Each structure stands twice: as C-alpha cells, then as structure tokens.
Structure 1
Amino acid sequence: MLNKTIKIAAAGAFMLGATTTAAFAGATAQPGETAGLAAGAPLPEGVYFVNTLDWGVRKLPGTDAKLLVDIPVLAWSTPWTILGANFQVLGALPMIHSDAGTSDYGLYNPFAAVRFAWDLGGGFGASYLSGFYFNAGDKGIRVPATTWRQDFAVSYTGDGWNLTANLLWGITFDTSKYSPFNSTPNGFNLDLTATKTFGKWEVGAVGFGSTQYDLPTGYGGKQKQFALGPLVGYNFGPVILQAFVTRDVYQRNMGGKDTRFWSRIIIPLWTPTPAAAPLVTKY
C-alpha cells in the first residue's frame, strides 16, 4: 500500500518536464516525462519531492545529439477538494545540458501548475492538469515562448497494477524575439505505463509518443516519434527508486533514433500525522 501511495504522489509531482530546442526544436514538455507514474490517480495529502534525471543520444548524420535533463519537482497535495477532485499545486525548475556539436547548459523554462484528480472507484482514477512553462530561463536552453500545458490522464492502480495513459497538450504563445522563426510549434505527447508490483519490486514497460501540429512557416517538417522500453523499481520505504531505458521504434524528421536512460527518486517530505487513537476506559 505504501508503494502505491508514494507512486501516486510522484505522479502528481512529476507532471513537469523539458526538451531543449537545441536538440529537438519544438515541444516544451519532454516526451516520456510521466511514464512510469500513475498520473490519473488522486494524490495523498502531503508535500513530495521527485527528481528525475535522464540522459540520451540521438544518432544524427555527422554528429550525435546528447541531452541530459534534470527535473527537481515539488508538489503540494492540499487537504481541499474542488468538485470532488483532489487539488494539487506543482512547481519545477528543470536544468538541461545539451551537446549537438556545441555544448550548452542552463535553466530551462520554469513551470507551475495546478492539478485536479478524481477517484472513480474500483482502482480507476482520472486527472486534469493546467499549467504554464514561462518564457524565462537561459537563452539557447529554454523554449523561447510561454507554453500553456494541459494533461488528461486515466489510471488503473488496483491489485498492484499501474496502467496509465497521459495525453499532454502544449499551446505556445508570447514567442520572444530570440525565436529562430516567427513562432514555436504546438504539439501532443502521449505517455504510457504498464507495470506490476511484487513485494518491494516493480517491473513492467513504458512507452511514449510525440507529434507536432500547426507547424509555423520556416520549419522543415513535423517531428514525430514513438519509444518503448523496460522499467524496474524498488521501494526502500518510504523512498522509491525507478530506472528505465527507452529506444525510439519510430521517428520522423528528427534526424535519427534516440536511446535514453532514466532514473527517478521519490521522497515524501511531509505527510499528515495520523490522529491519535482515543483512550478507552473500562468501567
């Protein structure tokens, strides 16, 4: 039960991410960032820290594009409900190191969001997230625009399973003067999870896809990809570690296929103290 609770907490905390324009020229949310998490399930009350580090290489003609992303996230699951939904507040300051012929390192677009998650009963849950990547951060690292991000997730977390689909929709505006073109592409990401816990261990598979749409003038073509890979996790109680590897099985207009290594640590910083049991007196 503890493993399930913290995994759901991480889903709330980790619904943030990054993709540097130096390497992928477009989408603000990192494809695959919520893979492995029960993004559709309500989050137990408390404050949570989730740090995800991933590193990958995309094989390109003449050179390789290397990308290291670190996403430290804080999430507060409040004691309040709105329209029957658990209400959460999230924030992150992602950092990126990219090397695609030239090396860049710095702060990616800061992110803030709110999330509403409903318990539908029978192990099923659904959630909606609304937040913004702000047009700030280091030039050459950040996406030069403000992005409104919306997530629509469903999860089944009964019997030790985590079966989750999370659709991320990004709409960009307020493009800065540093943009190489007149505006930044909008896009969809789809993150998928199918894992099962056995005692303290978790094993399964993850997948993710991304596609651009409404491509502005000046771009060579819509970028698309889909990746798959295995996941393993371990519950140290209460800290949880996850690790997984993904590899593109399909890509279009991205120059080559990407292989990526992911690690995640989930730490509950604060949870409510259970109420003391009432004293019982025999007469």
Structure 2
Amino acid sequence: MTGFGSNLRGCARAVLAAWLVAAGGPALAASAAQPGQTVGLPVGAQLPVGLYFVNLSSFGVRGTLPRESATNVNLPTFAWATPWTVAGARLQFFFTQPVAAASPQGTPYQSGIGQPLLAAQLAWDLGGDLGVSYLFGGYLPIETRFLTQSASLSHRFAASYTGNDWNLTANLLYGVFIDARSPFGTLYPDYLNLDLTATRKFGKWQVGAVAFGSTDLPTGVARYRAQGQVAVGGLVGYNFGPVNLQAYVTRDVIERNYGGREIRGWLRAIVPLYQDKGEAEPNRTLVTRRQAE
C-alpha cells in the first residue's frame, strides 16, 4: 500500500513559498510527497488481489509568525493489486489525484488540484510475516501556480513485519525532480522522506506510535535554505468490516526552515471495492491476511 497517500507535499511547497514571499525572503521548496502520508500502513506487505479506494485527509497548523499558517491536504487514491507476479513479487498499481487548500499566515484560503501520481509497485512475501516492496512512479507536470509544477520521479523502499497482530514498517521515499526550477524560478530540491509505524491490533482496534522525517538533498545553490523536519505521534484505528478507519495526530519535534513547528491531524478511510474471493477473509480491510481477521 505504498502508494496510498501518495502526493502533495507540493501543496506545502506553495504554502511555504507564500510564507517566504510575505516575509520578503527567497521562495523555498519541499518534497513532492507529503511526509507522513504512509504511516499506519504495512506498505512493505502485499495487498490481497483486488481494487481499493483510500482517502487520506489531513489538517495542519504551523506556528509561523506573525500569524499561524494552515493547510488541508486530501489524497484520494485508487490501488489495484493484480494477480500477476514479476520476479516473485505481486504487481500493484496506484493512482492519486490530490486536492489541497492553504491559508498562509492567516490570509484567505487558496485551493488547487495537485500533481497526479502514477506508480507501479512490486511487493515480495519473504515468509515469516516479513514483506518488502519497491515502488516506482512519477508526479506529472501541472500548470497550477498554487502547487508544484515540475515533474518528478518517486522511488520507495519499504519493509514490514505483520506477525502477531503487529505492524512494524519503515518506508523510505526518494524523490528526483526532472527540472530543478519551475518556470517562475522556484527551486525544487531532490528529497528523502522516512515514514515509520509501530502499531498493534487488539480485536478490531489498532493502536500505536508513528513518526516521520523529511529532508531536502543538497542543491549546490548557495542561497537555498534546505528544509527538514521530524514529527512523532500516535495512531488509533478501527475495522468496521467493509470500511477501515485510521486517525493519527503528529507534532514536529524538529523543524528546519519551515518558519515554525506543525501539529497535524490525519484521517484515513480504506474501502475495498473488489477483492478476490480466494484471498479475502472476513472483515479484512487492511493489506495483510493477519491484520484484519
């Protein structure tokens, strides 16, 4: 499920640029993939064969001065886990079309459609409740000035342990921009994000800790101030049967060149539109056979 929640730090990029314009400084950029978007999911494990709809919505407030800045990011995603295998891995496809709104430093909200993500993933079942996956995809170029415009490539490497009702997952996201600058001069640095999950199931409930970090990679531009953050939080989820809901709250413990620390609330809904009857199990809406009996 590495592709779930698969876009839109590009919206935050536009928000940050607006903050810095208001402050009279140079526009900065950030990663194309929203840090924290995959926590809570065992993204290293195989999806059961089927078609899924997942929406991740988050609202964050960052302590910028003189007034706070707010962003709302919505990441509707379709995921298709095919019955086909490549090199022993299940082949899976993802499509995300983000929508976002932002209020930099208390100014009126702006909204826009983000860059679509098209991606394919290979997920290997290693046995012993261990799984690893590799996702390769691309954020398509877009002309909406409110959001990131330049196309980029996304590589994602994930590992998950899902035994004994645990979900222990690490997902490393590496992004590479095709064009280093937008037509308006905004610099787009390559980036690394790391999403971490440590949760456990108790019946239909799921609780645990989450964390994520992000950093811009070196650009070679002397005046560019690289951005980075580390955030931690807690997650609670409940399996309603046909729909699985997860909610988590995260707060920055470290931030660099964002103008202030952020607290963000997240809500994810996972809806299986179709599942192979041979693989489906009662009430299972997460991605592993053991996670939603």
Tell me if TM exceeds 0.5: yes
5+ long unaligned stretches in structure 1: 1-10, 276-283
Alignment of 1:5-154 (within 5 A): 11-14=1-4, 16-19=6-9, 20=11, 21-24=13-16, 25-101=29-105, 102=107, 103-136=109-142, 138-141=144-147, 143-154=148-159
TM-score by length of 1: 0.89
Amino acid at match of 2:263: T
1:217-261, CA deviations, whole angstroms, 9 ceiling, x for partnerless residues? 275411110000010000001310000100001111111100000
Return 201-210 or 20-29, whichever deviates more. 20-29
1:155 corresponds to which residue? 160
RMSD over aligned CA atoms reads 1.6
Return 32-41 or 128-137, whichever deviates more. 128-137
> What is the aligned residue count?
263
2:185 corresponds to which residue? 180
Which of 239, 264, 268 does residue 260 from structure 1 map onto? 264
Could you say what secondary structure the match of 2:164 adopts? helix
TM-score by length of 2: 0.86
1:251 corresponds to which residue? 255
Write 1 or 2 for the structure with the bigger share of strand: 1
CA distance in 2, matches of 1:266, 1:180: 38
1:223 corresponds to which residue? 227
CA distance in 2, matches of 1:70, 1:154: 25
CA distance in 1, matches of 2:225, 2:142: 26
Amino acid at match of 1:168: L
**1:126–1:15 Cα change, 3 Å:** farther
1:205 corresponds to which residue? 209
1:7 corresponds to which residue? none
1:106 Cα deviation after fit: 0.8
**1:12–1:210 Cα change, 3 Å:** closer
Percent identity of paired positions between Structure 1 and Structure 2? 44
Structure number with larger C-alpha Rg: 1
* Contact 2:181-2:188 within 8 A present in 1 as well: no
CA distance in 2, matches of 1:188, 1:144: 19
1:175-218, CA deviations, whole angstroms, 9 ceiling, x for partnerless residues? 5653433x411110000000000000000010000000122527
Alignment of 1:158-173 (within 5 A): 158-173=163-178
